[in-house]
């Protein structure tokens, strides 16, 4: 409820434009409130929801005959009906994504290439299609999304693969991997960054038999590469691309998982210029080589009309499973020479986590391997003794592979598991080879996490996976690829780990109310209730009812923030 406001107030006293958004069949609006209510109408005044209910009841409360009212010099259309079959859900949220990185990958997307040569050809074609780039061999060529696990070859790509092409040869080329844990670079880019150290804590410089860099840098070693600083125009272009695509898939709020100083400064500047076009919950990147700053920097909460909050810190514990950097208790099944690695020493985690919690910061830790998750939970357990967990809401980002005991501990401690279902249907094709038939059962075990009492929230990790939140919804409830396949057949990969549609949207609000809880905004976002901000999405069909194989055919008709349309078609209005 808005302070000092009663929703039975006469419309004559309402100064802001208002309207009712209604379905014609008595339901169709999923409020995602505590009772999982479906209703017929929500009434919106300005930026807020001021009433919900059946049309006849809403009409009685606002005007015994009609909702039409002269509230400005011109009549305002006040009842807006959904097209038949359409439904309304709260504005969708992505609990783990990378906004500016997504914009960067869209310049030269490498997702879906089938071979190294196919990828090189895409880079060459990009150069040829951009005259400014083609005519200046000193300009950096940037792209991302390549996935070596999808290529019919073992091992990493090399600089030589890029340099073999006469159009590419001699240019600085930097290509980010699909999981963002590896860079594939040209010889020119390497030479400009030399000399490299022999070893890198928390990272790997892939070398040949005589010790020369081959052109791939893993995890912390990526930081060794010297790249040109991004201009304001570069950042703005990336941001606009990401926001445009986000609105098109129904996203109104994004948790940006790791804002480096330049990105954070950019978002602050944008917020200072006016309302950001999307809500950003930013996780500030933790640099273990920098002095502790948690007691010096003041968190930002709800800046720019509740559009920007940065009250959390993002810490990387280990690498990624796809690139073999996830830290495991036992060696990789397909590479027994390694157990992966920690990107941070455990004593750093035990030192900084309690400090950040003490100074009022939410702590979000990237942990993928079972050993990394165990160590991080050890640090959380030690840090949370006597603490108000609801007040701090610590998060495990990814929580991909966990032992059964650690899943139970996760629930007992109240640590939020921020998971990405589309990772499961991407990784299921190679996961058993990498982990073995027994250990793989603890990978992406969403049902086990929920049954252990853990609170989970859904994200995509875009640009690593599809930005579309319905892809995550589909993956969570089916555990099959978009074409209905899995290593275990059409019933799903480890189908016992599926979650229900009610859990994904309504019952626990994984795409709506739980992301709001995980970002401390559940009082203003995440459900369509009186007093909350009017962020909503109109879907072309009811994803709670259609057959599973039709979920991904759902389109976003309209995305609205603060009651105003930011994407899609106008909703049918009756005057």
Between 56 and 125, residue with greater pLDDT = 125
Asked whether the CA dihedral 518, 400, 112, 181 is positive or negative, the reply is positive
Do 156 and 121 sit in the same domain of this protein?
yes
User: Cα separation of 97 and 468, whole Å?
Assistant: 11
Same domain, 120 and 220: yes
The per-residue pLDDT for range 453-508, each reduced to its tens digit, is 999 999 999 999 999 999 999 999 999 999 999 999 999 999 999 999 988 885 34
Same domain flag for 125 and 72: no
User: Within 10 Å of residue 156's Cβ, how many Cβ atoms?
Assistant: 17
Beta strands 48-53 and 41-45, pairing class: antiparallel
Count of domains observed in the chain: 2
**Pairwise CA distance, residues 90 & 32, whole Å:** 7
Contact yes or no for 97/462 (Cβ under 8 A): yes
> What letter would DSSP give residue 529?
-
Residue that terminates a domain, selected from 224, 255, 280 = 224
Mean per-residue pLDDT, 126-139: 93
Phi first, then psi: give them for residue 121, nearest 5 degrees. -65, -35
Q: The pTM is what?
A: 0.88
CATH of the domain at 170: 3.10.310.70
Q: Is residue 502 part of a domain?
A: no
pLDDT confidence bin for 572, thresholds 50/70/90: low
R_g over Cα of the chain: 25
Q: Are residues 103 and 220 in the same domain?
A: yes
Among 224, 258, 289, identify where a domain stops.
224
Q: DSSP class of residue 34?
A: T
> Are residues 220 and 104 both part of a single domain?
yes
Per-residue tokens: 352: 């900084």
Residue 552 phi/psi, 5-degree rounding, is -75, -5
Bridge-partner residues for 458, per DSSP? 419
Give dist(CA 309, CA 361) in Å, integer: 12
The answer to whether residue 176 sits within a structural domain is: yes
Residue 472: inside a domain: no
- What's the average model confidence in pLDDT over 529-551? 96
CATH of the domain at 75: 2.30.40.10
Residue 374 located in a structural domain: no
Tell me the HSE value of 343 on the side-chain side, using a 13 A CA sphere.
Answer: 28
DSSP helix, strand, coil percent of the chain (3-state; round to 5): 30, 25, 45
**DSSP of 250-297:** TEEEEEEEEE-HHHHHHHHHHHHHS--SSEEEEEEEP-TTSPP-TTTS
Q: Is residue 85 part of a domain?
A: yes
- Across the chain, what does the average pLDDT equal? 90
The confidence score (pLDDT) of residue 62 equals 72
Is residue 463 in some structural domain?
no
| pLDDT tens digits for range 295-306 | 999 999 999 899
Is residue 111 located within the same domain as residue 128?
A: yes
Say whether both 150 and 178 belong to one domain.
yes
81 shares its domain with 113: no
| 557 SS3 class | strand
CA distance 468 to 251: 8
Q: Which of 196, 224, 252 is the last residue of a domain?
A: 224
561 falls within a domain: yes
Cβ atoms within 10 Å of 414's Cβ, excluding its own = 18
- Distance, CA of 566 to CA of 563 (rounded, Å): 9
Residue 54 contacts residue 26 (beta carbons within 8 Å): yes
**For residue 335, is pLDDT > 90?**
yes
Whether residue 45 lies inside any domain: the answer is: yes
238-253 pLDDT, tens digit each: 999 999 999 999 999 9
Do residues 84 and 22 share a domain? Answer: yes
pLDDT at 9: 35
Task: State whether 114 and 185 are in the same domain.
Answer: yes
Digit-coded pLDDT (tens) for 304-333:
899 999 999 999 999 999 989 999 999 999
Going by their DSSP bridges, the two strands 92-97 and 87-90 should be labelled as unpaired
Looking at the fold, whether 42 and 103 belong to one and the same domain comes out as no
Q: Is residue 108 located within the same domain as residue 175? A: yes
Q: Render pLDDT for 197-249 as a digit per residue (tens, 0 to 9).
A: 999 988 899 999 999 999 999 988 999 999 998 899 999 999 999 999 999 99
Establish whether the linkage from the previous residue to 195 is cis, with ω within 30° of 0.
yes
For residue 473, give the nearest of 445, 501, 496, 513 by alpha carbon. Answer: 501
Expressed as residue numbers, the domain containing 554 is 11-90+531-574
Q: What pLDDT is attached to residue 11?
A: 36
């Amino acid at each position: 409820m808005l302070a000092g406001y009663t929703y039975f107030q006469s419309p004559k006293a309402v100064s802001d434009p208002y309207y009712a958004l209604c379905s014609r069949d008595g339901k169709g609006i999923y409020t995602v409130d505590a009772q999982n209510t479906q209703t017929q109408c929500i009434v919106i005044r300005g930026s807020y929801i001021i009433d919900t209910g059946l049309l006849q009841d809403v009409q009685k409360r606002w005007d015994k005959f009609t909702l039409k009212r002269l509230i400005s010099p011109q009549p305002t259309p006040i009842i807006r009906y959904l097209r038949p079959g359409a439904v309304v859900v709260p504005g969708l949220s992505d609990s783990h994504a990378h906004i500016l990185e997504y914009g960067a990958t869209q310049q030269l997307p490498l997702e879906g290439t089938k071979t190294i040569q196919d990828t090189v050809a895409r880079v060459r074609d990009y150069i040829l299609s951009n005259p400014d780039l083609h005519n200046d061999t000193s300009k950096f060529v940037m792209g991302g999304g390549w996935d070596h696990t999808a290529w019919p070859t073992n091992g990493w790509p090399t600089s030589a693969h890029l340099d073999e092409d006469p159009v590419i040869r001699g240019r600085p080329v930097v290509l980010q991997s699909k999981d963002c844990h590896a860079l594939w670079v040209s010889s020119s880019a390497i030479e400009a960054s030399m000399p490299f150290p022999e070893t890198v804590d928390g990272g790997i410089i892939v070398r040949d038999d005589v010790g020369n860099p081959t052109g791939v840098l893993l995890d912390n070693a990526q930081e060794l590469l010297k790249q040109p600083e991004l201009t304001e125009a570069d950042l703005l272009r990336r941001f606009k691309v990401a926001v445009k695509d986000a609105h098109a898939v129904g996203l109104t709020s994004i948790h940006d998982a790791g804002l480096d100083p330049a990105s954070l400064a950019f978002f602050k500047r944008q917020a200072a210029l006016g309302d950001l076009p999307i809500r950003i919950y930013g996780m500030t990147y933790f640099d273990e080589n920098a002095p502790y700053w948690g007691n010096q920097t003041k968190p930002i909460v709800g800046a720019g009309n509740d559009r920007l909050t940065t009250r959390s810190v993002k810490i990387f514990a280990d690498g990624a499973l796809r690139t073999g950097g996830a830290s495991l208790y036992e060696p990789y099944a397909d590479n027994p020479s390694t157990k992966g690695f920690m990107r941070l020493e455990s004593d750093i985690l035990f030192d900084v986590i309690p400090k950040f919690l003490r100074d009022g910061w939410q702590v979000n830790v990237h942990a993928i391997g079972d050993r990394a998750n165990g160590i991080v939970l050890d640090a959380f357990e030690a840090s949370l003794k006597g603490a108000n967990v609801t007040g701090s809401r610590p998060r495990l980002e990814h929580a991909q592979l966990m032992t059964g005991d650690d899943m139970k501990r996760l629930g007992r401690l109240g640590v939020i598991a921020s998971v990405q279902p589309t990772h499961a249907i991407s990784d299921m094709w190679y996961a058993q080879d990498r982990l073995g038939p027994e250990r793989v059962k603890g990978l992406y075990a969403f049902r086990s996490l929920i049954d252990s009492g853990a609170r989970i929230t859904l994200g995509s990790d875009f640009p690593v996976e599809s930005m579309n939140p319905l892809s995550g919804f589909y993956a969570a409830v089916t555990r099959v690829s978009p074409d209905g396949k899995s290593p275990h057949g059409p019933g799903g990969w480890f189908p016992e780990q599926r979650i229900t549609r009610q859990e994904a949207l309504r019952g626990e609000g994984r795409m709506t109310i739980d992301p709001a809880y995980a970002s401390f905004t559940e009082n203003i976002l995440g459900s369509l209730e009186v007093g909350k901000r009017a962020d909503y999405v109109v879907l072309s069909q009811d994803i709670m009812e259609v057959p599973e194989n039709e979920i991904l055919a759902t389109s976003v008709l309209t995305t609205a923030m603060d009651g105003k349309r930011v994407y899609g078609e106008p909703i049918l209005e009756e005057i």
